Amino acid sequence: MKNRYLFRILNLILLLALSSCLVHTSLIYLDKDTEGVPNLISNPGFSAYSLDPREALLGWSVDLQGSGELTQNPVFIDGREAIQGNSSLRVDASPRTVVITSDAFRVNRYGGYYIRLWAKSLPTSGPRIQLRFITFKHNGKMDRQFKARLKSTDMWEKQTISAGFLRQGVTYGRLQIVIPPFEEGSVWLDDTGCWEVHRFRQD
């Protein structure tokens, strides 16, 4: 009798543990959740805001990491290719890692966030792109990184991140797109964004 009671208690504890895990792993947002919600990203379609290449990509910064020799800048605004709007960001083959980072935007500890990126490549099989949603505390210290990878192909493909349960003290976030070195062709990026699509009940 005592063993049966103990067995039931253990089963109950296991059930509670599993259910608490499901709350976190079932955090999934969709495109439809962004309807009527402002995009927190400035210039989500990589539009050109200036004829000066140093100022054209408003809302984003580009960092080339590594020591490979470059003959020219591999990052361009492309007015001939887009999935949304009139332009996209083209990244040509390069021996360096290309890191594209958004300007900072405010985030709320109790917010649920949906992050999206569309990408394509030529030739058919391109590099594996990493999408990151990075949160920071008010003092600039990095808090968390939410990551997802997208294998680029010759068709526009979408990658998303659903994020929430942010820590106390988090005040702003950034989106980051990381493209590893690749040997030929180009990658295009477009129609990205971050939306606060949910507000969790406060403590």
How large is the C-alpha radius of gyration of the chain?
21
> Is residue 64 one of the residues assigned to a domain?
yes
> Is residue 4 one of the residues assigned to a domain?
no
> Is residue 75 one of the residues assigned to a domain?
yes
> Is residue 110 one of the residues assigned to a domain?
yes
What's the pLDDT at 14? Answer: 44
> Is residue 1 one of the residues assigned to a domain?
no
- 75-134 pLDDT, tens digit each: 999 999 999 999 999 999 999 999 999 999 999 999 999 999 999 999 888 999 999 999
Q: Which of 63, 124, 99, 125 is nearest to 180 (CA)?
A: 99
What is the domain range of residue 129? 30-199
Domain count of the chain?
1
- Average of per-residue pLDDT across 3-28: 48
- 153-186 pLDDT, tens digit each: 999 999 999 999 899 999 999 999 999 999 999 9
Q: What is the pTM of this model?
A: 0.83
What lies within 8 Å, CB to CB, of 123 at 6+ separation is 154, 184, 185
CATH assignment of the domain containing 138 = 2.60.120.260
